[in-house]
Amino acid sequence: MRPRKRRLRSPEGIAATGNPLDPPAVVVSGGETTVTVDGDGVGGPNQEFALSAAVELAGSDDAAPETVVAAVDTDGVDGPTDAAGAIVDGETVAVREGRHALADNDATTVLGAADAVITTSPTGTNVNDLRVVVVPEP
């Protein structure tokens, strides 16, 4: 049984309803990010999380346009790439292009083309994966 992909809705909910937090707000979360690999593309779990967020933000009428999402691995290596993760907003990628890249697990290619990849080089530590969502005041 394959795990379901979960859609990022928190920034939309925060911006539209003030639930669970009144904007402006910063949401920080940690924990290992995982992904099911079905495609032949290049990427890592944090880049795929960021790309998923970019697609959701781009396709949303409710998300604040200045919402920013970052996902990084503290060891500086996200999957089999030189990237640590990515930082995105609703204008990083077109919805169709992002969905195609997600279907092929090819986040690095599309995020790299958008200059959204975060590269740090290996840090020598592996504390956790980190995600930060910044939701501005509407």
Q: What is the pTM of this model?
A: 0.86
Show the CA angle centred on residue 14, arms to residues 8 and 15, nearest 5°.
105
pLDDT of residue 19: 63
Residue that has been written with the tokens 């990427």 in this structure: 43
Set out the domains of the chain in order of their start, with CATH numbers: 10-135 (3.40.1480.10)
Taking only the tens place, the pLDDT of each residue in 94-124 is 999 999 999 999 999 999 999 999 999 999 9
Measured distance CA(51)–CA(73) in Å, rounded: 15
CB atoms within 10 A of CB 73: 25
pLDDT 10s digits, 49-92: 999 999 999 988 777 778 999 999 999 999 999 999 999 999 99
Overall average pLDDT of the 3-19 stretch:
54
Please tell me which residue, 12 or 8, carries the higher pLDDT value.
12
As a three-state string, the secondary structure of 79-137 is CCCCCCEEEEECCCCCHHHHHHHHHCCCHHHHHHHCCCEECCCCCCCCCCEEEEEEECC
Token readout for 106 is 């090819």
The whole-number pLDDT of residue 15 equals 60
pLDDT of 16 above 60: yes
